[in-house]
Structure 1
């Protein structure tokens, strides 16, 4: 019991550190452009696809656990975390080698785009601690707490994954 409490305290510290560090590092890296490097313009459709796969795998993971297949659920959720990390690395690499693409639409469609983009960004930051907490509860064997956290984490993570694809589809006609 004492070991679990110590592990949980250590995990909470790491969750806090990562939940702050990841958005800060991403924001700082956005300020830097790597000079004399060919823009990685091939990455946006790849990381949009990864977002789409994340959404599909999240839904598959929920179906798996509802059918009682805990191992498949665990593997799918771990894959979703790996997909999210891959997305993040590619997204930062793209923005460190390319100028941001302005949205070219006007009027209502621009307002819709900006709303989707803003909620996507805000929730993509909020999802970091939610995923880490939910995953840690499972890791520690506290499945009651895991299920409680997952009820909040799943729809937000799914929204972030789906809106990542939507944002890409809306801005892709304006890529140079």
Structure 2
């Protein structure tokens, strides 16, 4: 079992990552790699990763309810890995491509921007939530893990699902 000093160290690391990752993504969003072909295959790929993450999150919830803890653990580790992979692909795409403007009009435009803004804001919030939830699990503090997971799970699931919705709504406007 991890001691309190180690847990404090990881807590500091989680907060540092939770601040650095969104800032790095925002900064990298402004960087364009010259003379590199647009990576147009990435949006459907990372949308698929979001869909798979959503599915794995639901399967992980079912697994833990059935007390299949090792399966739950493996599904959650895979979900975390997929989220990291998504982030790398997302940044790579935006470093090689201009942002696509949503072309819908009327109420659909407002729906799209509501989904997009809530997705972006919650994707920033989910970073520390996932990491702290994971920390509670690996430190075997399962009561705290369970309590935090009740908050983390629906937000992470929302981020994964809305990532797919945003992709389908914007995809007709990709150049």
Say whether 1:4 aligns with 2:3: yes
Distance in 2, Cα, partners of 1:58 & 1:141 = 20
Say whether 1:125 aligns with 2:124: yes
What's the offset of the Cα at 1:83?
A: 0.3
What's the offset of the Cα at 1:4?
A: 1.1
Match of 1:137 in 2: 136
Say whether 1:112 aligns with 2:111: yes
TM-score (norm 1): 0.98
RMSD: 0.8
| Pairing 1:139-158 to 2, within 5 Å after superposition | 139-158=138-157
What's the offset of the Cα at 1:84?
A: 0.2
3-state SS, counterpart of residue 11 of structure 1: helix
3-state SS, counterpart of residue 37 of structure 1: coil
Gaps of 5+ in 2: none
Runs (4 or more) in structure 1 with deviation over 2 Å come to none
Distance in 1, Cα, partners of 2:62 & 2:6 = 30
TM-score (norm 2): 0.99
Distance in 1, Cα, partners of 2:33 & 2:40 = 14
Number of matched pairs:
175
Distance in 1, Cα, partners of 2:172 & 2:24 = 29
Match of 1:67 in 2: 66
Match of 2:102 in 1: 103
Say whether 1:54 aligns with 2:53: yes
What's the offset of the Cα at 1:7?
A: 1.2
User: Once the two structures are superposed, what CA deviation does each residue of 1:15-35 show, in whole Å capped at 9, x if it has no partner?
Assistant: 011000100100010011001
Distance in 2, Cα, partners of 1:95 & 1:5 = 40
